[in-house]
Structure 1
Amino acid sequence: MASMCKKKMRVAVAGATGNVGQHVVRALLDAGHEVRALTRDHRKGEEVLGRHARLRLVEGEGDDAGALCTACIKCDAAFLACANCEEQAENEIAFVDAARSAGVEFLVKLGTIRQYTSPTSDVAYARRHAAIEAHLEKTPPKCHMKWAVLSPNCFMSNHLADVFGALPATSTIAYPLDADAGARLVDPRDVGELAAAMLTRPENYDALHGRKLDVSGPEEINMGELAAMYSEALGRPIRFERVSVEKWVAAASRHIPAWLAEDVVKNFELWNAGELCFETSPEAQPLPARTMRQWVQELAPRSPPPE
């Protein structure tokens, strides 16, 4: 397996405190590279990422042209992620344009599940991802920036809602899923480390240019197995309950915007249909290795005591 580039690089990271972005930053710093981390809140940036001699926090909103320029100028490569929001397409396109103008050589964009990423998708955030990818594909004259998209499967960290919500409250995990329906969930840490490796291997930029790579975990997991893993980790019975789509959306809407809950629930249709069992694209190296059991053993003990 190839290692990260020995040349020390400067990399811009948008969404630096996010689910994946923070792990991109840490992997880059661990490998000796310099990072310009774009964040909306400098204080939160320090809380999540800490302080480091090779880390510069750039505070600014997604549409702040000055902040985008500051983040990207004199950078060799860039990572782009953005929270699901109504301004996502506009903000990510602005970052792409800033990276192009700054002469960035290679950009890795964090996408979403490819099965529903299209301009006509019934998932709003997937339509936004499709619009951003279309903008990447329209390369302006004299622009030499290469790019690739990582399209991860559902994140293991989505189940933090189990750990800090459902488990202490009811000792039950409840989803609109068949108990034996499998999916290859992926740890966002693996996605971040993969992105960092891609960004710091200039010898692979040409081969990766324009590629949209699937990223999944190493094994399938179903809800019956997940409940058993929680039971083992917590030392008490945890059960799985299949609930209706409507009940799940109502519960999720107490914590995330209703429109996002309506979008997210459509993942479970793919899950039940066996469409989230896809493997990682072979070009995506290093392959994600963390298992759901490892994630549960690490995170479940942090769950508050039963109510």
Structure 2
Amino acid sequence: MIVITAPTGNIGSRLLDILLDDAPTHGEKLRVIVRDPAKLSDAVRARVEVVTGSHGDADVIDLAFAGADAVFWLVPPDPQAPSLDAAYSGFTRAAAKAFAGNGVGHVVGVSALGRATPVADRAGHVTASLAMDDLIAGTGVAYRALANPTFMDNLLWQVTSIRDDGVFTGTVTADRKAPVAATRDIAAAAAGLLLDRSWTGAGEVPVLGPEDLSPIDMARTMSEVLGRPVRYERQSIDDFRAALTGRSVGDALMQGLVDMMRAKDDGLDDGVQRTPKTASPTTFREWCEEVLEPAVRP
């Protein structure tokens, strides 16, 4: 039995699709934890066990983990969390306690790159995510943290600006190259680990994409794929903070985002070498053609 948290999110929904195709051939049953089962299609609900509620709730977790062999763990965003510790480790503590109590053997979690860099202790959300990894690993469960860079899919938050103004923004230096990954590749990495649980102990599985790209590189590719000029505009940290204020992000999480973006410009995502094992397949061009261009199209 594999338990999937956040099954309607960007990564969880893709993971669920993969597992619905592949799990039966491995003799695996699937169970999901979801606040609103109506967000799952009728076809999905017919093929999985559904536990309704929050996976931060101890009673929900005990029910969902009963008889489970493996868990996919993803902390949902909580813009009004009182602290980053509460948002990550605090949300995870009930599950960490329940892993051993329910005999869960393997956990795959969504985390971030940065542990091997000098800025890991001042990277906001990433620092909190790495602390969550330590909490889970400390339970003794076999744990793999998917160590991710910036998601290509984050650009979908700027579809309107890209379509109407030919602009996307960020806070990193325009020519700074860094890894970027497609969320579908992160889901695929999670599926592989959940279906083949021959691994033991705790560790990271980086998902780096096939190449490092700068915002200038990304603008060039978007322009070519979309057939219109797209340029990158670097935001100041103050402008970034002001934009978050307009989105009702609480002070703690706002500062965490600011610290994370500063750390990314200081090399947060540079600490892992790309190898055949750490690279993931989807190129930025492929992602633009298959995901961004349909979203931008009027």
Normalising by the smaller structure, the TM-score range is 0.7 to 0.9
212-221 or 108-117, which deviates more: 108-117
Q: Is the 8 A contact 1:181 1:274 kept in 2?
A: no
Whether 2:14 is the aligned partner of 1:14: answer: no
Residue matched to 1:65 = 58
Query: Structure 1 counterpart of 2:204, which letter?
Result: K
Whether 2:91 is the aligned partner of 1:99: answer: no
**Distance of 1:213 and 1:122 partners within structure 2:** 22
Shift of 1:251: 2.2
Query: Structure 2 counterpart of 1:134, which letter?
Result: D
After TM superposition, the structure 1 = structure 2 runs for residues 234-245 of structure 1, keeping only pairs within 5 Å, are 234-245=226-237
- What are the ranges of 5 or more consecutive residues in structure 1 without an aligned counterpart? 1-9
**Distance of 1:147 and 1:171 partners within structure 2:** 42
Whether 2:221 is the aligned partner of 1:229: answer: yes
Residue matched to 2:186 = 191
Query: Structure 2 counterpart of 1:149, which letter?
Result: A
**Distance of 1:265 and 1:271 partners within structure 2:** 10
Seen in structure 2, the aligned counterparts of structure 1 residues 28 and 60 have a Cα distance that, compared at 3 Å, is: same
**Distance of 2:170 and 2:125 partners within structure 1:** 21
Q: Is the 8 A contact 2:122 2:263 kept in 1?
A: no
Matched residue SS, 2:54? coil
**Distance of 2:57 and 2:269 partners within structure 1:** 36
After TM superposition, the structure 1 = structure 2 runs for residues 95-134 of structure 1, keeping only pairs within 5 Å, are 95-115=95-115, 121-134=121-134
Matched residue SS, 2:76? coil
Seen in structure 2, the aligned counterparts of structure 1 residues 133 and 281 have a Cα distance that, compared at 3 Å, is: farther
Residue matched to 2:282 = 290
Deviations 1:76-131 (A, max 9, x none): 2111111243343222121222232111111112222334899x933443343244
Query: Structure 2 counterpart of 1:152, which letter?
Result: N
Residue matched to 1:153 = 149
Shift of 1:193: 0.9
Q: Is the 8 A contact 1:182 1:276 kept in 2?
A: no
**Distance of 2:275 and 2:104 partners within structure 1:** 25
Q: How many percent of aligned residue pairs carry the same amino acid?
A: 24
Q: Is the 8 A contact 1:117 1:127 kept in 2?
A: no
Residue matched to 1:171 = 166
Seen in structure 2, the aligned counterparts of structure 1 residues 242 and 146 have a Cα distance that, compared at 3 Å, is: closer
Seen in structure 2, the aligned counterparts of structure 1 residues 213 and 71 have a Cα distance that, compared at 3 Å, is: same
Q: Is the 8 A contact 1:167 1:303 kept in 2?
A: no
Query: Structure 2 counterpart of 1:122, which letter?
Result: R
Deviations 1:126-165 (A, max 9, x none): 34324423323433xxx6x3222121111111111222x3
Matched residue SS, 2:122? coil
Shift of 1:176: 2.2
Deviations 1:200-244 (A, max 9, x none): 1132x22xx211232211111111121122222222211222221
Select the structure that is richer in helix: 2
Residue matched to 1:216 = 208
Matched residue SS, 1:184? strand
**Distance of 2:264 and 2:135 partners within structure 1:** 29
**Distance of 2:248 and 2:148 partners within structure 1:** 20
**Distance of 2:215 and 2:285 partners within structure 1:** 12
Structure possessing the higher relative contact order (Cα contacts under 8 Å, 6 or more residues apart): 2
34-43 or 249-258, which deviates more: 249-258
Q: Is the 8 A contact 2:167 2:231 kept in 1?
A: yes
- What are the ranges of 5 or more consecutive residues in structure 2 without an aligned counterpart? none
Q: CA RMSD in A?
A: 2.8
Number of equivalences: 285
Shift of 1:42: 1.5
Whether 2:292 is the aligned partner of 1:300: answer: yes
Query: TM-score, structure 1 length as denominator?
Result: 0.81
